[in-house]
Amino acid sequence: MELISMILFSFCSIVILFLFPCLFKLFDSVRRTLPLPPGSLGWPYIGETFQLYSQNPNVFFASKVKRYGSIFKTHILGCPCVMISSPEAAKFVLVTRAHLFKPTFPASKEKMLGKQAIFFHQGDYHTKLRKLVLRAFMPEAIKNIVPDIESLAKDSIQSWEGRLITTFQEMKTYTFNVALLSIFGKDEVLYREDLKRCYYILEKGYNSMPINLPGTLFNKSMKARKELAQIVAKILSTRRQMKLDHTDLLASFMGDKEGLTDEQIADNIIGVIFAARDTTASVMTWILKYLGENPSVLQAVTEEQEAIIKSNSGDDEKAPSLSWADTKKMPITSRVIQETLRVASILSFTFREAAEDVEYQGYLIPKGWKVLPLFRNIHHSPEIFPDPEKFDPSRFEVAPKPNTFMPFGNGTHSCPGNELAKIEMLILLHHLTTKYRWSMVGSNSGIQYGPFALPQNGLPIRLTKKL
Ligand code: HEM
């Protein structure tokens, strides 16, 4: 009996010590013999960076998809990449196998935003942050700030009256102020100008070379970042002394039982401003362009918004403030927002990095390679959205199929601010379409990329009050 157990023990040991690693190696080598996706890696190191950046990047993506299909390899900015442009592949990377693909950003961006910011993390810390951010941006929480967003919208539009304005610049001011309101509540208006001054210096360094020497853009940005963190620390200390009830993002961060450090709070506040401002401002800029070019759609939106004023009071000037319920009575305007998000696809793609070798549809995505789900290509696929270049909000009368419409991303890192973004757009459009007209100035056919797609020169317009 003893002999049998000894033989069994020896056999098991051989399997564990010898055969398992061999089997694993065999399996590994099978993986390694899987082909890479089709495509070309271009020149050594430079890869195909020049082809991508010397033209509209969407032309590069579209020509690759046409040649190689919905998954292809390339080499950009020193990194081998796999680009994917089918709804199924995007779901695989962002949702079902999200744990195999980690978020990845250039080191300079991590330094600017702060390495504790939500975008850069996975696992427990990310889950905890996400819960806190979602708590501040869920409908129940943003309902309370509808009147304050409305005041910001009215003030902004009034300040544009009769002037030649650059739409994107002005929208950035509006979306910045809404972001601060959602983060700090209205009490912190005291710090608005200082926060703005610092943030505007900080953002200049986002795409600069990370050389931290006196006088460089990067150095100035890092100083501005430090000052921003000091302002946040001041607000935190005042709040801790006053012990008042708040329902904003800062309160959500401060209320966490396990506690976030002041540094984690500052990194995430700067991160949310970054995520909230230019994205929403670019979309608003495109909406004004598309409405300006499509008078019948503008007419339908205006009538829908006028009907809300009438149902509330019957009299424009004395109309009460918009309520949360009013924002739910705007289906036509909401479809204009959806269609703008689709056509403009301001975030053409996002970045992930394979955390290990991954097999997808018989291809190998090697560990360390960047993986880019191409949102714009999915949004512009004629099989999914017929006549994709046409601005036609009515196509959203039918809900799009799952994973085909991802302006706010998908899965664990999808946008927690999407409700707030939609509300601030609806409120501004309400006042703009019912009380004002605008005309575009100069040629408006071009698109600039930096990094979001934008109408040329930020869309100069002239705004006048309706008589
Ligand atoms: C129309 C405007 C907006 C668009 C198109 C947009 C789009 C997106 C997309 C596509 C992602 C996912 C990126 C990825 O998976 O790599 C994202 C993430 C994020 N967005 Fe937005 N966003 C908008 C507005 C906002 C606003 C207003 C806020 C905050 C108030 C916000 C906060 C965030 C945050 C914190 C993340 C990171 C989430 C995470 O990593 O878990 N965004 N956004």
Tell me 31's DSSP state.
Answer: H
Class of the domain covering 26-115+346-379? alpha beta
**What is the per-residue pLDDT across 31-60, written as a single tens digit (0 to 9) for each?**
568 999 999 898 877 888 877 776 777 888
Q: For the CA atoms of the chain, what is the radius of gyration?
A: 25
pLDDT at site 171 = 98
Q: Is 22 annotated as a binding residue?
A: no
79 has pLDDT over 50 = yes
Pocket of ligand 1 (CB under 6 A): 118-119, 130, 133, 137, 179, 182, 272, 275-276, 279-280, 283, 346-347, 350, 407-409, 413-417, 420-421
Percent residues over pLDDT 70 in the chain: 91
The 370-373 sheet, strands edge to edge: 71-76, 79-84, 370-373, 352-354, 101-103
Q: Tell me, yes or no, if the pTM score tops 0.95.
A: no
Lowest mean pLDDT among 387-396, 433-442, 445-454: 445-454
pLDDT band at residue 317 using 50, 70 and 90 as cut-offs? low
* For ligand 1, atom 7: residue with the closest CA: 408
Query: Does the domain made of 122-339+409-465 have the CATH classification 1.10.630.10?
Result: yes
pLDDT band at residue 7 using 50, 70 and 90 as cut-offs? very low
For the residues 216-239, what does the mean pLDDT come to? 93
pLDDT at site 31 = 57
Pairing of strands 370-373, 79-84: parallel
Percent residues over pLDDT 90 in the chain: 71
**What is the per-residue pLDDT across 148-190, written as a single tens digit (0 to 9) for each?**
999 999 999 999 999 999 999 999 999 999 999 999 998 778 8
Q: Which atom of ligand 1 is nearest to the CA of 412?
A: 41
Return the SS3 of 456: helix
Q: Which residue has the higher pLDDT, 268 or 467?
A: 268
68 has pLDDT over 50 = yes
* For ligand 1, atom 31: residue with the closest CA: 417
Between the CA of 418 and the centroid of ligand 1 the distance, in Å, is 7
pLDDT at site 14 = 47
* For ligand 1, atom 11: residue with the closest CA: 415
CA distance 456 to 129: 36
298 has pLDDT over 90 = yes
Lowest mean pLDDT among 6-10, 84-88, 138-142, 414-418: 6-10
pLDDT at site 11 = 45
pLDDT band at residue 28 using 50, 70 and 90 as cut-offs? low
Q: Which atom of ligand 1 is nearest to the CA of 126?
A: 41
8 has pLDDT over 60 = no
pLDDT at site 16 = 47
pLDDT at site 410 = 97
Between the CA of 415 and the centroid of ligand 1 the distance, in Å, is 4
Secondary structure, 3-state, 184-212: HCHHHHHHHHHHHHHHHHHHHCCCCCCCC
* Residue ranges covered by each domain of the chain: 26-115+346-379, 122-339+409-465
pLDDT band at residue 30 using 50, 70 and 90 as cut-offs? very low
* For ligand 1, atom 9: residue with the closest CA: 408
Q: Which atom of ligand 1 is nearest to the CA of 272?
A: 35
For a ligand 1 pocket test, name from 115, 264, 415, 422 the mutation site with the most ligand atoms within 8 angstroms of its C-beta: 415
The letter for the amino acid at 295 is P
pLDDT at site 316 = 52
Q: Which atom of ligand 1 is nearest to the CA of 421?
A: 27
Residue given tokens 């598309």 in the structure block: 290
* For ligand 1, atom 2: residue with the closest CA: 280
Q: Which atom of ligand 1 is nearest to the CA of 422?
A: 1
* For ligand 1, atom 21: residue with the closest CA: 415
* For ligand 1, atom 19: residue with the closest CA: 415
